[in-house]
């Protein structure tokens, strides 16, 4: 029987020691749903094609669903209720026109490409779209397919003390459909869940408490952890025989290595960046998360997902229905678009200037698009029938448009692209062997991508 609470010591910085029981009670490893044990340490499982071992991915998930017609797939010749209030502008790519509310995008359009013919047949609710777009498969039969980052965590060699898969600033919240949001290891297990930051990197004196040695964790956080001790003690007997206990024992010292790693703490330390760099990204949550994503990839993290917003409830997001508490199409110009425009353009420029863009895929996804017609409240509603996503770096040729929507942006007219194709494109960039099978539910082999899915090869040609 495993005794994961045995008094086996692990060394901390400075030579001090802490027993497993003390470590668990502080909460760095435990069964209480905290962020640190949700990823543990990924094992190397092979499956990466030659020449791609340095590849990483930054997935920007535009939670709330941006309007394709008002941003990336404008319809200037359509009736006013379709085309909306904004005008298209030229970019530094002869093939791409975008909205006037994204002027900084226009200056880096040669670095990204757009896919304007995306669609899916999932429900028009946010969490259904979150799940299908990040995993490539619909949630059916109770099978939770792993996030693309969890697959990368499983298949790709870990390159540093940092976790292989990180979500910034935290996992998505509620979406209204009571469905999995897709940001988990699914049937690959909790060992391949992401490390969730659970903090806003734009606040003063930002740090990551779960990466601090126990004697440096603040009093308030320690008090919270102490209140969990009774719960841990009550459940320990049942937990001891579980699969989670096996993972805990196996990864005990790996988790300690992360907590005490100078590289990990340095990677999350935004104070090491020049003020001008931080300001270029924008001194807000979106901008600083994108800057942090660059730092993490630079320090060996394989996959970073940036949630531009956390929920569609009680905060601004791309969910522009028009009526309160949501914003209108017009308000998007002042409240949402400038922040994203600044952060995204800064990320591409920064990666390019550092020589990192070729080995870092940056993909901008969303759960669906918006209705072609502006509603009476001045907004647009949910529309999974057609939307636009972006790709840059990671072998992608910039300045291109793949696919085409119909004259009102309502349906794909050429080169329809499904979620499985988008996830297959991510795997292709990372060099994951398409013939790979994952260990699926009940031990059955599970294909890496859904049947009929294929990468968007035109992005790389």
| pLDDT tens readout for residues 254-277 | 566 677 788 999 999 999 999 999
Quote the CA–CA distance of 384 and 123 in Å, as a whole number. Answer: 8
Write the pLDDT tens digit of every residue in 326-342: 999 999 999 999 999 99
Which of the four pLDDT bands, split at 50, 70 and 90, describes residue 21? very low
Rounded average pLDDT over 240-245: 56
pLDDT at 351: 98
Which residue is associated with the tokens 């603040």?
A: 218
List the single range of 130-134, 166-170, 246-250 with lowest mean pLDDT.
Answer: 246-250
Q: What is the pLDDT of residue 208?
A: 82
Mean pLDDT, range 381-403, rounded to an integer? 98
Identify which of 61, 63, 134 has the alpha carbon closest to the alpha carbon of residue 426.
134
Flag whether pLDDT at 378 surpasses 90. yes
Query: Can you tell me the distance from the alpha carbon of 211 to that of 222, in angstroms, rounded to the nearest whole number?
Result: 14
Name the pTM for this structure. 0.85
- 54-204+270-459 CATH choice from 3.40.630.30, 3.30.40.230, 3.40.720.10, 3.40.50.300: 3.40.720.10
DSSP 102-141: -HHHHHSGGGEEEEEEE---S-SSHHHHHHHHHHSS--BT
Coil, helix or strand at residue 240: helix
pLDDT for the residue numbered 236: 53
Radius of gyration of the chain (CA): 22
Q: What is the mean pLDDT of residues 343-351?
A: 98
Vertex 161: Cα angle to 435 and 206 (nearest 5): 115
Spans of all domains in the chain: 18-47+214-259, 54-204+270-459
Which range in 50-54, 190-194, 217-221, 403-407 is most confidently predicted, on average pLDDT? 403-407
* Mean pLDDT estimate for the chain: 85
């Amino acid at each position: 029987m495993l005794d994961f609470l045995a008094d086996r010591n692990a060394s901390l910085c400075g030579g001090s020691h802490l027993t497993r029981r003390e470590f668990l009670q502080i909460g760095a490893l435990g069964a209480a749903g905290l962020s640190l044990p949700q990823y543990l340490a990924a094992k190397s499982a092979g499956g990466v094609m030659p020449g791609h071992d340095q590849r990483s991915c930054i997935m920007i998930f535009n939670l709330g669903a941006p309007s394709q017609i008002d941003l990336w797939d404008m319809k200037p010749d359509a009736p006013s209720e379709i085309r909306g209030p904004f005008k298209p502008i030229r970019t530094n790519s002869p093939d791409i026109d975008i909205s006037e509310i994204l002027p900084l995008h226009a200056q880096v359009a040669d670095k990204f490409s757009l896919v304007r013919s995306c669609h899916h047949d999932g429900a028009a609710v946010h969490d259904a779209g979150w799940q299908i777009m990040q995993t490539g498969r619909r949630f059916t039969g109770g099978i939770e397919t792993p996030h693309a980052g969890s697959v990368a965590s499983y298949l790709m060699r870990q390159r540093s003390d940092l976790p292989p898969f990180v979500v910034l600033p935290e996992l998505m919240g509620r979406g209204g459909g009571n469905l999995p949001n897709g940001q988990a290891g699914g049937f690959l297990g909790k060992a391949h869940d992401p490390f969730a930051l659970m903090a806003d990197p734009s606040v003063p004196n930002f740090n990551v408490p779960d990466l601090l040695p126990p004697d440096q964790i603040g009093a308030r956080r320690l008090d919270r952890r102490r209140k969990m001790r009774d719960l841990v003690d009550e459940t320990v007997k049942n937990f001891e025989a579980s699969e989670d206990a096996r993972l805990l024992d196996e990864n005990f010292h790996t988790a300690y290595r992360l907590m005490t790693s100078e590289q990990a703490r340095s990677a999350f330390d935004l104070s090491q960046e020049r003020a001008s760099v931080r300001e270029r990204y924008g001194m807000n949550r979106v901008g600083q998360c994108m800057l942090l994503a660059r730092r993490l990839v630079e320090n060996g993290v394989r996959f970073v997902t940036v949630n531009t917003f956390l929920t569609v409830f009680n905060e601004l997001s791309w969910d522009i229905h028009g009526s309160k508490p949501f914003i209108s199409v017009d308000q998007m110009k002042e409240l949402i678009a400038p922040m994203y425009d600044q952060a995204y353009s800064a990320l591409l420029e920064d990666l390019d200037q550092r020589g990192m863009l070729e080995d870092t895929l940056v993909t901008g996804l969303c759960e669906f698009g918006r209705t072609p017609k502006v509603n009476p409240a001045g907004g647009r509603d949910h529309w999974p029938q057609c939307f636009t996503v972006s790709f840059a770096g990671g072998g992608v040729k910039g300045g291109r448009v793949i696919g085409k929507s119909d004259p009102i942006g309502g349906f794909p007219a050429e080169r329809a692209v499904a979620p499985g194709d988008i996830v297959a494109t991510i795997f292709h960039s990372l060099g994951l062997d398409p013939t790979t099978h994952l260990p699926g539910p009940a031990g059955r082999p599970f294909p890496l991508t859904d049947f009929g899915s294929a990468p968007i090869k035109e992005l790389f040609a």
